[in-house]
Amino acid sequence: MAKVLIIDDEAAILDLMTKLCRSLGHEVQPYQTGKEGVAALQKSPPDLMIVDLRIGDMNGLHIIQQCDQEFPDMPIIMVTGYGSVETAVEAMKLGAFDYLTKPFELEDLRRTINRALRTDSKFDVGGLKAPLVVEPSRPRNPIIGESPEIKQVLAMAAKIADNDSPTLLEGEFGCGKQMVARSIHDRSRRRDEPFKVLHCSALPVDLLEAELFGGDGRAQTIFTRAQGGTVVLEEINVLPVRLQSQLDSYLEDINSRRLSGTLPSELDTRFIATSTEPLETWVKEGKFREDLYYRISVIPIQLPSLRKRKDDIPLLAEHFLKNYAALTNSPKFEIDKYAMAMLVGYSWPGNVGELQNAIERACAFADNRRIRPIDLPPKITQKIEISDDEAQGVRHQLPIGNKLSDYIRKQEKMFIRETLKYNEGSREKTASMLGVSIATLYRKMGLKLERDKILNS
């Protein structure tokens, strides 16, 4: 049994981490303020400390820096939000053992605690004795969808789960690349080992280099902290050219050692990269190293955007509604057929993430637990596309949600303006062509028409 000190000002997260540590058999000291935590630390140093980066009354970095000087042998786990990853890596340079980004999974926290304490305990949250060993056929976070496009991706993920060849996941922002990477990990023999994600766009070059290859006196990298598990390098397309060369050399060395049977256990990881840009095209344009591209894309998987699998939108919407009900401990909302038609008709440039945000917003505005078109974000209701029955192949975008009078007025002004241009600014010809008087023409435009202004607009 170890003594674990936890400092986090979010009561719910503090309670969750406390229950986890106690279920592992450890003695826990939970504190919501940095002042109380530091006082307890000075009074009786623990075997392990878990500290949030941003505490109400203190900065987690200051606590880590102080501990590194006074208790250099005590491992520290930093907990941080995604937007603070850069500072979390800085904490690693100050002596932290590892960091987790919120929201994290309890299984990841368990693994990190066990590695920090060099233990091999299993955990039971709240006395439920619920094993978190995931069967290969049942990933923890199932990807929602029944469309042929997503089924093909999931079939590939299941097929390559135990193949250690580098995998490249390509697709737009928000289409679920990290979830697919997690699904591959959870289905593999590595599922009980660490799953580490490094966002290339979240760190400056020096910290990114330190996380990948060490340096500044740091022995640990993201690869060594993920020993036996999976490393996901997100947005590898933004990796600087200098680091692309280093990564290529590193992966080549790892592959050679694995083939020769001389790979040390601390370097035994599975490598997955993601990209929001088509790297093969970038290689042709000289934006990405060709040798690294072929090194990381032994198994390439292209993820479809949400607009290419619109049949999955109702399923995803229902999933997010259930999650919202569970989160708020309230009955589930319903979506009427008109609102659902708008969700299906929207192009979703932000993909699944944008859909989730739209559902949560609609729940906040809906009356009587029923989501209607007026509850949806304006950008969704104002961009509905319809086909023109009289002009085959032509599609129009209609600003659904606006008043009819506003839409007619806008279209009228645009039609008059274009007719004036066609008639080279002649008000008389335009009025005649439109079948209205010049006075009506002026009134509908709501301004004085000047020939030069019309011609130069």
Q: Would you say residue 283 lies in a domain?
A: yes
Q: Would you say residue 415 lies in a domain?
A: yes
The identity of residue 74, as a single letter, is M
**Same domain? 352 vs 374:** yes
The CA distance from 327 to 338, in Å, is: 26
Q: Write out pLDDT tens, residues 93-120.
A: 677 888 888 777 777 888 888 888 875 4
Q: Taking 70 as the threshold, does the pLDDT of residue 129 lie above it?
A: no
**Same domain? 24 vs 107:** yes
User: Quick one: pLDDT band at residue 222, thresholds 50, 70, 90?
Assistant: confident
Q: Which one of 214-218, 272-276, 431-435 scores highest in mean pLDDT?
A: 272-276
Q: Write out pLDDT tens, residues 227-247.
A: 899 999 999 999 999 999 999
Q: Would you say residue 80 lies in a domain?
A: yes
Q: Would you say residue 390 lies in a domain?
A: no
Q: Taking 70 as the threshold, does the pLDDT of residue 396 lie above it?
A: no
The CA distance from 437 to 404, in Å, is: 24
Bigger pLDDT: 306 or 404? 306
**Same domain? 163 vs 254:** yes
**Same domain? 411 vs 281:** no
CB atoms within 10 A of CB 259: 9
Q: Write out pLDDT tens, residues 11-23.
A: 888 888 998 899 8
**Same domain? 358 vs 410:** no
The CA distance from 397 to 389, in Å, is: 14
Query: How many CA atoms lie within 13 Å of 240's alpha carbon, on the beta-carbon side?
Result: 12
User: Quick one: pLDDT band at residue 397, thresholds 50, 70, 90?
Assistant: low
CATH assignment at residue 163: 3.40.50.300
Q: Tell me, what's the pLDDT at 24?
A: 87
First to last CA, the chain: 77
Domain final residue pick, 304, 328, 353:
304
Bigger pLDDT: 346 or 220? 346
Q: Write out pLDDT tens, residues 50-101.
A: 998 888 778 888 888 888 778 888 889 988 875 556 666 677 767 788 888 8
Q: Would you say residue 228 lies in a domain?
A: yes
User: Quick one: pLDDT band at residue 415, thresholds 50, 70, 90?
Assistant: confident
Q: Tell me, what's the pLDDT at 138?
A: 42
**Same domain? 27 vs 64:** yes
Q: Write out pLDDT tens, residues 420-443.
A: 888 888 888 888 888 888 888 888
Q: Tell me, what's the pLDDT at 318?
A: 94
Query: Is there a contact between 398 and 386 (Cβ–Cβ < 8 Å)?
Result: yes
**Same domain? 197 vs 298:** yes
Q: Tell me, what's the pLDDT at 439?
A: 82
Q: Would you say residue 195 lies in a domain?
A: yes
Query: Is there a contact between 144 and 119 (Cβ–Cβ < 8 Å)?
Result: no
Q: Tell me, what's the pLDDT at 428?
A: 87
Q: What domain range includes position 83?
A: 3-126
Total domains, the chain = 4
**Same domain? 315 vs 294:** no
Query: How many CA atoms lie within 13 Å of 75's alpha carbon, on the beta-carbon side?
Result: 17
Average pLDDT, the chain: 82
Q: Would you say residue 399 lies in a domain?
A: no
CATH assignment at residue 363: 1.10.8.60
Domain final residue pick, 257, 287, 304:
304
Domain final residue pick, 267, 283, 304:
304
User: Quick one: pLDDT band at residue 273, thresholds 50, 70, 90?
Assistant: very high
Q: Would you say residue 314 lies in a domain?
A: yes
Q: Tell me, what's the pLDDT at 159?
A: 92
CATH assignment at residue 98: 3.40.50.2300
Q: Tell me, what's the pLDDT at 236?
A: 95
**Same domain? 184 vs 267:** yes
**Same domain? 238 vs 281:** yes
Q: Which of 148-157, 191-200, 404-413, 430-439 has the lowest mean pLDDT?
A: 404-413
Which residues in 390-418 are b (16+ Cβ under 10 Å) and which e? eeeeeeeeeebbeeeeeeeeeeeeeebee
For residue 167, the SS3 value is strand
**Same domain? 253 vs 322:** no
Query: Is there a contact between 233 and 274 (Cβ–Cβ < 8 Å)?
Result: yes
Q: Which of 117-126, 277-286, 429-438 has the lowest mean pLDDT?
A: 117-126
Q: Tell me, what's the pLDDT at 452?
A: 43
**Same domain? 281 vs 335:** no
- Residues near 253 by beta carbon (within 8 Å), at least 6 away in sequence: none
